[in-house]
Chains A and B, each alone.
Chain A
Amino acid sequence: MAPIQKLLSAFIIALTVTVSASAADYSHYLRHIPPAENFGQVVLDNYSHKAGVLPVTFDHWLHRAKFTCRLCHIDIGFAMKAEMTEISAADNMSGYYCGACHDGKRVFDGRNIFGSCAENYTEDKGKRCARCHSSAEAEERKYDYKSFSEKLPKLPGNLIDWEKAESEGKVKLTDFLEGVSFKREPLKAQDDFTIKIRSWDVIFSHRKHTVWNGCELCHPMIFPSTKRGTTKYSMFQIMMKGEYCGVCHTSVAFSVWLCAKCHITLDE
């Protein structure tokens, strides 16, 4: 690791510990977390501008309340980084990516899922485009974070506590899409383990992570090491560069700024 990165890592850890006499007091960290309605927001503009439409603004919170990470990122095949999938309208119209669900035929929660893209459309149908090809605040969007998340349990920063929401039965995630997913054998989760980090150990729960994910989502792409203890994780890489845990925990899963969610000894 470069000296500047080491320094920054040390600074982040020092800041984290100094500010937090009590790990439950997150007030100082909240300024680092984006507004909850924008947390996990992805803007896709591989082809939109060229095609004369606004980029797609995708809200993770809306889809995450209904589907597992595994379904979208493994079965449907969305990449883990914005714009890496290179979704085209033709892909959607062929029933892939967004079009896997948004085909205008599938029914979810008793409602037809609107079709994602079309070659020819009327002005009225064109309004449907704006449900995705628009800014998050556009009036064509049918959901807003405040009303959507009203009854869901929250974490500091007004972020949705997905783990709690599922354990309380407030969200029921779909993990199988007819015609796209295939039947898997039940997952035999690997053991949980501790990552020794000075006095703030991280206890990593394979069980918790595999509820919504598949092994291939994390290994080897995000965590390539095959020998425990060989990778030196730094908070700089995680928090600033969005690597390792930061791939999900700076954008979709609970924020890395909620330290005690991972560094459980801070809470003791």
Chain B
Amino acid sequence: MKNFSRFTLLSLLFLYLFFGNCIVGNFSSVYAQDDWKQEYSSVCAKTQNAMILTPEELKSYIDRCDKLLALINELEGEQAATEKKVYTKRVKMCRELYQFALEYKEHK
């Protein structure tokens, strides 16, 4: 009985580690795939208010844009060329506006 339990537990552990990892792995890769798009929406959603953000906030957004651009540059897959072209331009527009707002505030 004791051996059986141990065997069952080990089997369950193996199944969990093998399939669980596959499932979690898949989820995480799907999530990672969309993650940059969420980050893009989050970063660029603030452009409307660029002029009322503090210099620290603007610097943080610029930094996030740079990280995002690096991520986009590493995209792979069937649509990578198009996605890189589209999103690089969009993120650059956000980044340049934040930079513009930052310089405006520093000149003031």
Contacts and interface: CB of A to CB of B under 8 A. Distances in A.
Nearest to A219: B100
Nearest to A75: B90
Interface in B32-65: 40-41, 44-52
B66 interface: no
A224 B48 contact: no
Nearest to B42: A182
Category for how many chain A residues contact B: 20 to 34
Contacts, number: 71
B82 A94 contact: yes
Contacts of A146: none
Interface in A199-243: 214-217, 219-221, 224, 226-227
Interface in B56-108: 79, 81-83, 85-86, 89-90, 93-94, 96-97, 99-101, 103-104, 107
Contacts of A97: 86
Residues of A contacting B: mostly: loop
Contact of A77 (B52, B79, B90): B90
Contact of A188 (B49, B97, B103, B104): B49
Contacts of A86: 85
B86 A96 contact: yes
A74 B49 CA distance: 15
A151 interface: no
A188 B48 contact: yes
Contacts of A187: 48-49
A94 B45 contact: no
A152 to B, nearest CB: 28
A113 B81 CA distance: 25
A190 interface: yes
B47 A215 contact: yes
A220 B96 contact: yes
B6 to A, nearest CB: 52
B51 A190 contact: yes
A10 interface: no
Contacts of B48: 184-188, 214-215
A81 to B, nearest CB: 12
Contacts of B83: 96
By CB atoms of chain B within 10 A, which of A97, A188, A220, A227 has the most? A220
Contacts of B93: 74, 216-217, 221
Given A216-B97, A219-B100, A221-B96, A185 B89 contact: no
B41 A182 contact: yes
Considering residues B45, B48, B52, B107, which has the most beta carbons from chain A within 10 angstroms of its beta carbon? Answer: B48
Nearest to A190: B51
14 contacts: A75-B90, A88-B82, A90-B81, A94-B82, A182-B45, A184-B45, A185-B46, A185-B49, A188-B52, A214-B47, A215-B50, A216-B97, A219-B96, A226-B100
